Structure 1
Amino acid sequence: MLFNSLDFAIFLPIVFILYWFVINQNVKLQNLLIVVASYVFYGWWDWRFLSLILFSTLVDYTVGMKLKDETRSSRRTILLWISICVNLGFLGVFKYYNFFLDNFVTAFRFFGSEFNMSSLNIILPVGISFYTFQTLSYTIDVYKKKLEPTKDFVAFAAFVSFFPQLVAGPIERATNLLPQFYKKRTFNYNKAVDGLKQILWGMFKKVVIADNSAQIANEIFNNSGDYSGSTLFIGALFFAFQIYGDFSGYSDIAIGTSRLFGFDLMKNFAFPYFSRDIAEFWRRWHISLSTWFRDYLYIPLGGSKGGTWKKVRNTFIIFVVSGFWHGANWTFVVWGVLNAIYFLPLLLAKKNRQNIEVVAEGKLLPGLNDVFKMLTTFGLTLIAWVFFRARDIGHAFDYLAEMFSSSFFMSVNFEGQENLMNMTYVLIFFIVIEWLGRDQEHAIARLGQNLKRPIRWAIYYGILLLMFYMRGAQQEFIYFQF
């Protein structure tokens, strides 16, 4: 079920009314409703994959209960590995089996041997990378004794399958989200209003910024051999706004929807395109995944402690794994390696924590130094996004070679160009609003707060009207494929 669909527009009010006006006095019934609603939400795509979520839930719930009573270190380790193998096993079969098989066969052919194996004709379950990592966080934290295992199976099932963030995050930690299912929730008007505002802005990002940018980016990337470097630059630029509007828009809708039901999810995007270096970018982009890898992979490997070699090794591991998490394609691995190369000089020079505060905090406009740093960081990110979007590595290198050729100075010309000028104006409006709200939880959290109520409502309705006027052709959320 898509957030930007009529199905969801009907589904959400029904669940909301049942949750707050029918069973609002019973936490257990509210949790049960969330489980049922979440399974309906997910099963809307393909009900057969509900068995994967249910099996993963049963395994990790059982492992957690066993870990509670088990004191022997060897047995506890075995239980942990059962959870890891089951969850990553599902991920490996559905997401990576054919990738490894194809590369295995190619390697044999390179050395002159024929090796035939059958690939699997399977559909990738929506959001499997997200809920797999979420439930793994529970088992690992219970194993490390950072969290008491729950006896409440319904609450645990609700944590694993919570529909607002089930298929594209944020990837919640059990230590943050699971305890919220134990507590009685009371309706908070201010929290609900803020949630609605965040949903509105998330929808704007998706249907106006992402979907319109996708039409331009898809046309240029899919026919890149026909276009000049200047046009290819436009394609890369609009893909950058497509993926940001798409993914951060989903996160905004997920967080806002959760607030309607009394839950607080972690912030997943913090205006990353205003970053002044790559380290800051990765503290602001897909925060739930970056911190997951930091806490469950990077730090256990030794983090930034130890000698130079260990720092280099750990940095490359974390970025390569992050790239591979996104998809079974070498383009994602190269994307990860490229970001590691960007990040490494900052780490080795101990400058990776120098831009912690909000850029130009308390000021209306940034200084020239900040502008230069932001443009440089965005430019490096743009190059990396070409690998993320390209069909294969060859396509990415051809794209970049032409983009940086003398044809970069030719006029922009591509099929469907008539939408470019309108989108340019919309992007300027979008960037201004994001800039003004860069120190808030979301861009319009305090938009017009000092203005009278009719003017504030006029602003919100203006955004709504712009959504209908500039609505792009519906596109599936990019991160559903991950």
Structure 2
Amino acid sequence: MVFSNLFFLFAFLPVCLVFYYLMPKQKLKDVVLVIFSLFFYAWGEPIWVSLLILSATVDYIHGRVIENTNKQWQKRLVLLSSLVINLGLLSIFKYSAFFTQSLNAVFNLNYIAPSFSLPIGISFYTFQTLSYTVDVYRGEVKAQKSFLSFLLFVSLFHQLVAGPIVRYKDIAKEIEVRVLSWERFNKGVLRFIIGLGKKVIIANTAGDLARVYLDQSFSNLTVMGSWLGILLFAIQIYFDFSGYSDMAIGLGHMFGFTYKENFNYPYVSRSATEFWRRWHISLGSFFRDYVYIPMGGNRKRRLFNLATVWFLTGLWHGASWNFVLWGLYYGVLIVLEKQFLLRILDRIPRFINHIYLIGAVLLGWVLFYYTDLSQGLAYMKTMLGMSGVELFQATDLLRIKSNAAFLLLAIIFCMPISKHLYEKAQHKLSTSSFIPLLLSDVLKGVFVLAVLTISTALILGQSYNPFIYFRF
């Protein structure tokens, strides 16, 4: 099930909210949330919901054992057991075919690659449960004694299948006690609708336009067309994934949970280092806290640690060498920036920094989009004018002209302009009389209804279009 689905919007979510708010006690609310969350997951994965429950059971038991074990070596052994089981399951279901095919190619072998279907969201919930076990081992959180409460943490449908990666310690208090209010519920609805609009109105439209360039024969592609195509994909993936994160955060507010931000306008960055502080923040912070720093961070073997993190970042995104190269590509950029490039960037005009970053990101998205490396490299050659194709054609200019308003609005919404304007308006209204404040609530209601209506109309006219990060 996806958030941008009519059944979810007009049946699943309203019914879940009604049952949740009707329950007089929080434990009963927890039961409602767990039941609806498991149903949400089973809607698309009727078999692999058992794997989700198994993963939750494994780390619930390991957390309890770690906390009740006195000797340090025994704690380490239990933690190792959790790591082996979780990463083993992830490797089997997500990477076994990739590893087998790679071995066959390198050593000219003929092993049959396993053909498991990838359980939706396994990369996300595996990292969530692993972070819990590690935090219990470090003494940063107490082990959860209630299996129902722990299963609630693992299965929450708000962020279950595409993040953000929520750590147990960040919502431990809210698992025990949640504060519900009309103001917070309204905040959640507004954030959810903004995310829905990002996905359905902007991301899906950009995706349809991008495929005209990205999925055609490269012999018919121009240099301008290749840049336009990957720019549209950059718009699509940002609004698709940040839209999902907005919807997850909004749903959290509706049910009394607070999830950390996952995006902070990454395309306004001036370096790859800054970009990855703003893009998929929960993943970057996970690798920093659970891989990079434990390996030594900046203290020792910094280059090796960075290479490892970016290799794993690429591999996390998909079982294919293009994702590994995409991760290493950013690893190389960030190493170069830390070694000398940032000092140069600090001395040159800001707009040149932005041009460098956007160019680097767009080239990176080519590696991300094409799982066939030969296709990706051929597309890059076209972008760089090395394929002997035309600079542009009249159809490129016509397509830009006919979609100019959409492109302009999408680019504006990639920047924090609208956020700053909204915050200024809110501040002025909050210091004004009652009537302007009431007018603000009316305008919010009109905005929510308008975006919901437009999104609903577009969903009715579109084919099935899941969130991009569902495949990870």
User: Normalising by structure 2, what TM-score?
Assistant: 0.90
Cα–Cα, structure 1 residues 35 and 466, in superposed 2: closer, same or farther, change >3 Å?
closer
Counterparts of residues 92-171 of structure 1 (less than 5 Å) = 92-109=91-108, 115-171=109-165
The 3-state SS of whatever aligns with 1:299 is helix
Per-residue deviation, residues 1-40 of structure 1 (Å, max 9, x unmatched)? 11011121110111111111x21x3111111111111100
Please give the root-mean-square deviation of Cα atoms over the aligned residues, in Å: 2.5
The 3-state SS of whatever aligns with 2:64 is helix
Cα–Cα, structure 1 residues 144 and 338, in superposed 2: closer, same or farther, change >3 Å?
same
| Preserved CA contact (<8 Å) 2:366 2:376 | yes
Matching residue of 2:249: 255
Unaligned runs of 5+ in 2: 430-435
Query: 1: distance between equivalents of 2:245 and 2:298?
Result: 30
1:390 corresponds to 2:370: yes
Matching residue of 2:392: 410
Unaligned runs of 5+ in 1: 110-114, 356-367
Matching residue of 1:84: 83
- The residue type equivalent to 1:15 in the other structure is C
Counterparts of residues 463-482 of structure 1 (less than 5 Å) = 463-464=451-452, 466-467=454-455, 473-482=463-472
Query: 1: distance between equivalents of 2:455 and 2:41?
Result: 26
Query: 1: distance between equivalents of 2:227 and 2:402?
Result: 18
Counterparts of residues 346-361 of structure 1 (less than 5 Å) = 346-349=337-340, 351=342
Matching residue of 1:31: 30
Query: 1: distance between equivalents of 2:326 and 2:147?
Result: 39
Query: 1: distance between equivalents of 2:457 and 2:373?
Result: 37
- The residue type equivalent to 1:19 in the other structure is Y
Q: CA deviation at 1:436?
A: 4.2
In the alignment, which of 156, 167, 184 is matched to residue 191 of structure 1? 184
User: Normalising by structure 1, what TM-score?
Assistant: 0.88
- The residue type equivalent to 2:377 in the other structure is F
Matching residue of 2:433: none
Aligned residues: 454
1:237 corresponds to 2:231: yes
Counterparts of residues 345-384 of structure 1 (less than 5 Å) = 345-349=336-340, 351=342, 369-384=349-364
Query: 1: distance between equivalents of 2:8 and 2:456?
Result: 17
- The residue type equivalent to 2:288 in the other structure is R
Indicate the larger mover: 171-180 or 129-138.
171-180
Matching residue of 2:432: none
The 3-state SS of whatever aligns with 1:2 is coil
Matching residue of 2:6: 6
Q: CA deviation at 1:277?
A: 1.2
Query: 1: distance between equivalents of 2:370 and 2:465?
Result: 18
Instruction: Provide the identity percentage.
Output: 33
Query: 1: distance between equivalents of 2:468 and 2:166?
Result: 19
Query: 1: distance between equivalents of 2:104 and 2:271?
Result: 40
Per-residue deviation, residues 26-73 of structure 1 (Å, max 9, x unmatched)? 111111111111100000002110110111111111111111111222
Cα–Cα, structure 1 residues 136 and 182, in superposed 2: closer, same or farther, change >3 Å?
same
Cα–Cα, structure 1 residues 119 and 445, in superposed 2: closer, same or farther, change >3 Å?
farther
Q: CA deviation at 1:379?
A: 1.4
1:209 corresponds to 2:202: yes
The 3-state SS of whatever aligns with 2:85 is helix
Cα–Cα, structure 1 residues 420 and 30, in superposed 2: closer, same or farther, change >3 Å?
farther
Query: 2: distance between equivalents of 1:447 and 1:90?
Result: 50
Query: 2: distance between equivalents of 1:98 and 1:347?
Result: 36
| Preserved CA contact (<8 Å) 1:201 1:444 | no
Q: CA deviation at 1:346?
A: 2.4
